[in-house]
Amino acid sequence: MAAVISPMLRRLALERATGALLREHGTLYLADGQVVHAESRVAPGPEVLLGPNALPGRTADGRAADGRTGDGSVGRGRPRRVGAGEWEICRLGAFYDAAFFALAPGSGPARFRYGEQAAGTAVPGAPPALRPVPAADVERETLRRRTLLDRVWPHPAVDTAPVVPRPVAPGRTVTARGRALLARADGVRTPAQLAVELRRPAFHTVLEVRRLAAAGLVETPPSPAPVPAPVPAERPPPFSPALTADAPDLALLRRVRDALEALP
C-alpha cells in the first residue's frame, strides 16, 4: 500500500484477521485479511439504488430481465428482475461507496471485533457473496476518490453539510444530473439524504455537489477553525543559589518540633 488510509486496516490485513472493523462512519468486514463487505449509513445499498422490488436474474417464465409485462409496462409491486451484470456492477459500486465513507476521517476511535460477520446482507436470489477484495485495493480506491474530490473542489465540509442552492445566473448551463439535485436541495437535506432520494450512489452525489459548489451553484460552508497548537507548560525557573540562601534549616526545625512535643 503506497498510502496508508487506515493503519489498523493494514495491520489486520497482514494478520489475515477475520472480523469487523468498526469506524465512526461505517464498518468493514474482513475474512482472512481481505474485505468481504462494507456498510455505511451514508451509502445506499443495491436495494435502494435499484429499487425495493429489484431482484437479480430472470423471471421464472423467462421474461426479459427488466421485468416488463407484455404491454411494455412494469407491473406495480411485482419483482423487477435486473440482469446479473447490472446487479453485480451496482453491488460493487455500493461496496466501494460504503468502504470510502467507512474509511473517512473521524473523531472516534476505530475498533475491531474478531470473528464478527455481516448480518442480514443476503438478498433472496442474489448471486453469491462479493468476492473478497484485498485491503490494499480498498485503500487505493479510497485514496483515488479523495484525490478526485479535492481536484474538483477542495472543501470537504460540503460533503456532510445541508445542500444550500444558490441562484443560477442567466445563461448558465447546468447538467441534467445537477438540475435534478438542485431541484431537491432544500437547505436541509445532506448529500447522503439526497442520494437516497435520487437513488444515486452516495459518492457520485457528493462529487456532483462539489462540482456545483465549485461552479458557485451551492453554498460552501466555512471551514472549521484550525485547532490551536497546545501551549507548552511553563518551565520552573533555573536553580539559583541566591534564591536558597535564606531558606530555613529544615533539620533544625524538625529538632525544635521534636523537643516541643517531648515537653510534659
Q: What is the pLDDT of residues 223-246, one digit of tens each?
A: 766 656 666 555 545 544 444 444
Helical residues (DSSP H) of the chain, grouped into ranges: 7-15, 46-49, 84-102, 135-152, 176-184, 191-198, 202-214, 250-262
- Asked which of 69-73, 80-84, 208-212 is least confident by mean pLDDT, the reply is 69-73
Confidence (pLDDT) at 69: 40
- Asked which of 21-25, 50-54, 78-82, 213-217 is least confident by mean pLDDT, the reply is 78-82
CB-based contact 13:112 (threshold 8 Å):
no
Amino acid identity at 159: D
For the stretch 154-199, pLDDT in tens is 999 999 999 999 998 888 899 999 999 999 999 999 999 999 999 9
User: Backbone phi, then psi, for 156, in 5-degree steps?
Assistant: -60, -15
Half-sphere exposure of residue 15: CA atoms within 13 angstroms, side-chain side: 12
Task: State the Cα–Cα distance between residues 27 and 118, nearest whole angstrom.
Answer: 9
Residue 37 DSSP code: E
Confidence (pLDDT) at 129: 62
Q: If we measure between CA atoms, which residue out of 82, 100, 73 comes closest to residue 46?
A: 82
Please, what is the average pLDDT of the chain? Answer: 82
Task: State the Cα–Cα distance between residues 132 and 30, nearest whole angstrom.
Answer: 8
Confidence (pLDDT) at 44: 94
Task: State the Cα–Cα distance between residues 46 and 199, nearest whole angstrom.
Answer: 9
Pairing state of beta strands 34-39 and 19-23? unpaired
Confidence (pLDDT) at 60: 40
**In angstroms, what CA-CA distances link 61 with 64, 65, 81, 124, 253?**
9, 11, 12, 18, 105
For the stretch 49-71, pLDDT in tens is 988 777 776 544 444 444 444 33
Residue 108 has pLDDT above 80, yes or no: yes
What are the helix and strand counts (H, E) for the chain? 8, 7
**In angstroms, what CA-CA distances link 16 with 35, 89, 110, 113?**
10, 27, 18, 14
Confidence (pLDDT) at 55: 72
- Asked which of 4-18, 126-140, 217-231 is least confident by mean pLDDT, the reply is 217-231
Pairing state of beta strands 80-82 and 54-56? parallel
Confidence (pLDDT) at 74: 41
Task: State the Cα–Cα distance between residues 134 and 112, nearest whole angstrom.
Answer: 17
Residue of higher predicted confidence among 225 and 214: 214
Residue 142 has pLDDT above 90, yes or no: yes
Confidence (pLDDT) at 71: 39
- Considering only the C-alpha atoms of the chain, give the largest distance between any 2 of them, rounded to a whole number of Å: 117
CB-based contact 22:112 (threshold 8 Å):
yes
CB-based contact 151:207 (threshold 8 Å):
no
Task: State the Cα–Cα distance between residues 108 and 110, nearest whole angstrom.
Answer: 7
